[in-house]
Amino acid sequence: MDSVWTQSVEMPRFATLEGEVKTDVLIIGGGITGILCAYFLKEKGVDYLLAEGRTICSGVTKNTTAKITAQHGLVYADLIKTAGLEKAKMYLDANQMALEQYAALCRNIDCEFEEKENFVYSLNDRKKLEREAEALEKIGLKALFLEKADLPFPTAGAVGFARQAQFHPLKFLAAIAKGLNIYEHSFVTKLSEHTALTEKARISFQRIIFATHFPIDNKHGLYFLKLYQHRSYVIALEDAPLVKGMYVDENQKGMSFRNFGKLLLLGGGSHRTGKKGGDWEELRACAREYYPNAKERAYWATQDCMPLDDVPYIGLYSPRMPECYVATGYHKWGMTSAMAAAMILTDQIIGKKHLCQEVFCPSRSMLTTQLLANGWEALVHLLAPTAKRCPHLGCALKWNEAEHSWDCPCHGSRFDADGGLIDNPANGDWKGARN
């Protein structure tokens, strides 16, 4: 179950951190966000250190579909309604700047960067698409509109952005990571004010960036209420007709399409972590119906942190933690969000206000129906009578038959059948087993 990205690249390796170490900025997490933060901090001459518990890009980053786009579903009409025109424009600008930064960096990196149009389609709701196109025009972007999407089934149309992109994320990150101050197999086991402990090292720092996908400090910021996690699945098909551009359904449970060389990457089957969903069988059923001559060449799954209002949390971890920063809640759009996060956090660390930082502020108001839903899920699974509990905050674990893992429906921690940690926010293994 390896993604097409891991099959076609060799990542650089780094030493394990040992002894007493001092740094200005400690970055925890060696996925795309942490690596980009390290890259930009080095550019600015800031003393930093990145600690990765396993190996770089071994978590969620390696399982992306690697679309680089500022079009994150039908988000802009809702953003104008809930946050106002100015903040919706900030969101667009931050992601467009991220796209431009990728384009600039990829000019000198062989990572199969390709400019593509990106489209969000709807199976049956044209009005949603028209509303989004009108919202984009208010912000100042002329959207594309397709009456007929380049897909094997009928749609109500598609709204799109020109000059977006796709690439090979691990080839990009393998090049970016070379020469950075990174340490692997350096799992942070304990944090206190200005000190982090790993198995073999003690790190003294002034500031810290949590680039751990799901934030690992539960005492501040209420991230365990402000986030939930979502599973989604991908299959790579050979001998299937390729699409012209990149596509995703406006429905969160719909399908995603992009090419990679001669392969068609088909995504979907999504569900909340710890719940049942369509997984790969839903994708394979779609492939049998619409691509009967195609052959499956790879399959994999990923996990996404979902915020309360569709906007990531990027900035100060909490008002009570003035020297701590976070980037999380990418809402399935990790490529542009990670780049935007790295640019925003680098500016904040060097004392510069980023033009778009306000819309991503983690301490913004979060009184939404999703907050109540997250709280209810936590309560239900905290009270569930079972011995198999997540070590994060004690929720009941659920067996995931499709992926043979124990999953937490509250906050998305995942463990293999023997209790080994797969995905955080749990910070260690669960000493249980399937039986």
Compute the average pLDDT of residues 272-298: 95
- Comparing 105 with 381, the larger pLDDT belongs to 105
Does one domain contain both 287 and 236? yes
Report pLDDT for 368.
66
Is the pLDDT at 94 greater than 80? The verdict is yes
Compute the average pLDDT of residues 111-136: 98
Does one domain contain both 316 and 218? yes
Report pLDDT for 371.
63
- 107 within domain boundaries: no
Is the pLDDT at 433 greater than 70? The verdict is no
Among 305, 321, 341, the domain-final residue is: 305
Report pLDDT for 390.
85
What is the number of domains present in the chain?
Answer: 3
User: By mean pLDDT, which of 136-145, 221-230, 255-264, 386-395 is the weakest?
Assistant: 386-395
- 154 within domain boundaries: no
- Comparing 229 with 411, the larger pLDDT belongs to 229
Report pLDDT for 389.
86
- 19 within domain boundaries: yes
Q: Model confidence over 14-72: pLDDT tens digits?
A: 999 999 999 999 999 999 999 999 999 999 999 999 999 999 999 999 999 999 999 99
Whether the CB-CB separation of 396 and 411 falls below 8 Å is answered with no
Is the pLDDT at 365 greater than 80? The verdict is no
Compute the average pLDDT of residues 266-295: 95
Number of other CB atoms surrounding residue 179 within 10 Å: 10
| Six-digit token string for 104 | 């600039």
Does one domain contain both 234 and 266? yes
Compute the average pLDDT of residues 172-184: 98
- Residue 76: alpha-carbon gap to chain centroid: 19
What is the spatial distance between Cα 228 and Cα 333, in angstroms, rounded to a whole number?
15
Q: Model confidence over 194-211: pLDDT tens digits?
A: 999 999 999 999 999 999
Is the pLDDT at 188 greater than 70? The verdict is yes
Does one domain contain both 212 and 331? yes
**Percent of the chain surpassing pLDDT 90:** 81
Phi, psi dihedrals of residue 84, rounded to the nearest 5°? 100, 160
Nearest 10 degrees: Cα torsion 407, 187, 299, 247:
90
Among 289, 305, 321, the domain-final residue is: 305
Is the pLDDT at 134 greater than 50? The verdict is yes
Does one domain contain both 221 and 331? yes
What is the spatial distance between Cα 134 and Cα 157, in angstroms, rounded to a whole number?
15
**CATH code of the domain containing 397:** 2.102.10.10
Instruction: Give the start-end residues of each E strand in 64-126.
Output: 67-68, 114-121
Does one domain contain both 190 and 211? yes
Report pLDDT for 435.
45
Does one domain contain both 294 and 327? no
Does one domain contain both 266 and 387? no
Q: Model confidence over 298-334: pLDDT tens digits?
A: 999 999 999 999 999 999 999 989 899 999 999 999 9
Q: Model confidence over 261-271: pLDDT tens digits?
A: 999 999 999 99
Report pLDDT for 387.
65
Does one domain contain both 218 and 345? yes
Is the pLDDT at 383 greater than 70? The verdict is no
Report pLDDT for 171.
98
Domain that holds residue 265: 228-305
Among 270, 290, 305, the domain-final residue is: 305
